[in-house]
Amino acid sequence: MPQPVVPTTSPALPENRLIALLRRAGLLDWFLPALAAVVGLAYLAPGLGGPASPLPWDALNTVGVALVFFLYGLKLSIGSLRDGNRNWRLHLVVQATTFLLFPLLALVARPLFGAGQGPLLWQSIFFLCVLPSTVSTSVVMVSMGRGNVPAAIFNASLSALLGIALTPLWVRAVLQPTGSGTEGLGALALSLAWQVVLPVGAGLLLNPRFGEWAGRQKARLRVLDQVVILSIVYTSFCESFAGGVFRSYAPATVALLGLGMVGLYFAVFGLVAGASRLLGFPAADRTTAIFCGSKKSLVHGSVFASLLFPDSGATGALLLPLMLYHALQIVLASIMAQQFGQAALRAEALAETRAGSPAAL
């Protein structure tokens, strides 16, 4: 009697698929622990990243910002933007959520922040609310949720471009950062021009020649983006810790701020989902509207904080809600995107079953 064949390799474990999902969603990425580490280092040794540091942090961050936006333009195809303008109702919902709904929610919540640290907390939350959406995270979540991926790419890219103009306009109109007069406005416009607008434009012009290379190097270029963010966050928190900005922030305040960020995420999530249903969007477009509209970009937040508030020792505090929201949006959105994807698969299977039934035939 022949002996049963014993397999030489063990079957893939369910945990392997879970790990792959978490890695795809960004939950196993090195960046979030590194973000916490640089904040801890800034707390322990604020002088290393302050003005007295032997390292030229300002120059390094300035060059890094310009390089990040140049590479962003290099990866952005003009053709993809031109071809993506057909689904205008979806695009309008996503951009209105990013640049109108979020700021309006922050303005409505303004009376809830009283004296003491309340005004600074509200300003940092409002700054978060006027930032553009993410690019890579939005597209990954839409893909996981089986949404309209081309529309997600278009809207995430468009949001980043619109944010170059709309975020500074919102900040100047409501927060009135340092140098709010005519001289400050000219300096801000000049900084935005040569650190953001010109690098993006140069990247766009070189996209036909080097865009394919940039696409192949996407993972390595993303690491460069993250290193620049870590540098900006580190120096910002060094200045804030050295200035004693966080001394009156009790742990309970930070915990409440985290809960507030969760509430903000779900408020936007629910409002966009309801609006998408009222407008009659198909399921794939609803998924795209929800996951693109609910994201906020830590890349742009770090950059604009350094550009719009160059003389502020409270820049670290300004970034605190954004860092909390960034971590929470990855965790919450990845869980919900997985649920959306499973629901879409069930709907597709049900539709195939009905199509193959005798009644349908």
- Is the model's pLDDT at 130 over the cut of 90? yes
Banded pLDDT at 208 (limits 50, 70, 90):
confident
- Is the model's pLDDT at 248 over the cut of 90? no
- Is the model's pLDDT at 240 over the cut of 60? yes
DSSP state for residue 146 in the 8-state scheme: T
Q: Which candidate, 274, 221, 246, places its Cα nearest to that of 70?
A: 221
- Is the model's pLDDT at 126 over the cut of 90? yes
Share of the chain above pLDDT 90, in %: 20
Residues 34-90 pLDDT 10s? 878 888 888 888 888 877 777 888 788 778 878 877 887 787 776 666 665 678 899
- Is the model's pLDDT at 164 over the cut of 80? yes
Banded pLDDT at 96 (limits 50, 70, 90):
very high
The domains located in the chain, with CATH, are 28-345 (1.20.1530.20)
Share of the chain above pLDDT 70, in %: 79
Q: Which of 81-90, 106-115, 196-205 has the highest mean pLDDT?
A: 106-115
Banded pLDDT at 349 (limits 50, 70, 90):
confident
* Radius of gyration over every alpha carbon of the chain, rounded to an integer in angstroms: 22
HSE toward the beta carbon, residue 315, CA cutoff 13 A: 25
DSSP state for residue 10 in the 8-state scheme: P
The answer to whether residues 220 and 75 touch, using CB atoms and an 8 Å cutoff, is no
* pLDDT at position 182: 44
The answer to whether residues 38 and 230 touch, using CB atoms and an 8 Å cutoff, is yes
DSSP per residue over 225-261, as a string?
HHHHHHHHHHHHHHHHHHTTTTTT--HHHHHHHHHHH
* pLDDT at position 84: 58
Reported residue count of the chain is: 361
- Is the model's pLDDT at 9 over the cut of 60? no
- Is the model's pLDDT at 24 over the cut of 60? no
- Is the model's pLDDT at 101 over the cut of 90? yes
The answer to whether residues 286 and 148 touch, using CB atoms and an 8 Å cutoff, is no
* pLDDT at position 89: 92
* pLDDT at position 191: 66
| Distance in angstroms (rounded) separating the CA atoms of residues 33 and 20 | 19
Using CA atoms, how far residue 138 sits from 113, 191, 228, 233, in Å, is: 30, 28, 20, 22
> Which whole number is the average pLDDT over 134-152?
79
